[in-house]
Homo-oligomer: A and B are copies of this chain.
Amino acid sequence: MKLSDMGERAIIGKLGRFLDIGDDAACIRMGDRFLVMSTDAIHAPTHIPKEMTPQQIGKFIVTVNLSDMAAMGAKPLAFLLSYGGPDTEFTRFKKIIKSAQKQCRKFKIDLVGGDTKEMKELTLTGCAVGTAKRPVLRSGARPGDIVAVTGELGAAGACFELLGKKRRPNRALLKAALEPEPKIKEGILLAKHANSMTDISDSLAVSIYSIAERSGVGIKIDIDRIPMSSIDHALYSGGDYQLLFTMPEKNFTRLREVTNSTRIGTVTRAGGISATRKGREFRIKHKGYGHFGRNR
């Protein structure tokens, strides 16, 4: 069997069985809190949109890694960057690094270390380290919890669709797709009460399935409530660095506005994912952005 026959989620599932992964980041207890660690790579041919400037690339590698911190409700502590790339001009390299550094500073951390290697294609691997008093896993959703997302969904997917058709997206779409921001502040606020949380960078659909499966619950989604520009992009496109979480309704009331979140469903006791759209049953496919060759 080849890796592309499995899809990235399945590979991480397999890895998970070796490695006990399954959350956005790993946690280790250190005294009265947890150390939270994650790694995420972007690679030119498959993960770096060719429209990105060096500045956007530098920002992006930090965002994708800090988004994993946000998903755990962790406060970032430090960021490491491994730079692999062709023997390109030093000025481009410098722009990427400087921009990564700037994005780190926005979240009050330093780019503390790095590594450079010559590679044929630009390959950036980040490693984020943070701390959390109570990291939020994907496995804690409880029947009765509301299901909610931060922000608005689908802009990144819509932008990439237009770019794929050689059309020029507007400024807001380009910014959403090429300059996403990690939801650190929101993650920390939500962590106080969320029973489960994950980022939806691989797609909302995949993330819904993941929380339901790992929590041993069902999830019922009201499609009409999803804050989105297009159903397909909101559910399946990925690239929206927003958070999906579940928590008791009473806590959500207070956090809704300050985290710019929207309730989109409910955790159910019975397993499986169900959804309605305009009062009718709607099937959410288990599909998202897969890195080994295909969507699934």
Contact = CB atoms under 8 A, between A and B. Distances in A.
Nearest to A86: B3
Assembly of this chain: how many copies? 2
A295 to B, nearest CB: 13
Interface in A32-60: 35, 37-43, 45-47
A21 B113 contact: yes
Instruction: Classify chain A's interface size.
Output: 35 or more
A169 interface: no
Interface string A69-84: 0000000011011101
Interface string A1-41: 11110101001101100111100011010110001011111
A239 to B, nearest CB: 15
B97 A127 contact: no
A244 interface: no
Interface of A: 1-4, 6, 8, 11-12, 14-15, 18-21, 25-26, 28, 30-31, 35, 37-43, 45-47, 77-78, 80-82, 84-85, 87-90, 93-94, 97-98, 101, 110-121, 123, 125, 127, 129, 291-293
